[in-house]
Amino acid sequence: MGLMDAPITLALNAAKSAYLNPYLEGIGELEKVSFKNGQLSGVLRLAGMDSEPVEVTCSDISIAPDGGSVRIGNLASNKKFADTALKRFAQGKEFAIPAGAPRKAALALKGILRI
């Protein structure tokens, strides 16, 4: 585990409650998020699906110099339907980060990770 993994995981969990879960409202809830050795992972419970949660891993993450967008180069999931959807609709694509606190958090993460 890298020296900064635990503080990054704590920051991501704060962002999960404040920004990510409100964004996912009606779709599901991010139950767990962690960062270890350059890889971001999360556990998502989808609305209406009471079975096992969907596990997602992300790597090759890049944040724009101004913190205004993020691109995730590699996404994978433990569920085939989610893995296919992530690769088709999200992997390698750029996503805007809202202004304000989310963008400031992205810039801080960019500085910590040196990405």
In this structure, what token pair is assigned to residue 108?
């801080």
What local confidence, expressed as pLDDT, does residue 110 receive? 75
Mean of pLDDT values over 100-106: 75
Which residues touch 81 (CB under 8 Å, ≥6 apart)? none
pTM score, whole prediction: 0.79
Q: Is 11 exposed, middle or buried (0-12, 13-18, 19+ CB in 10 A)?
A: middle
What local confidence, expressed as pLDDT, does residue 115 receive? 67
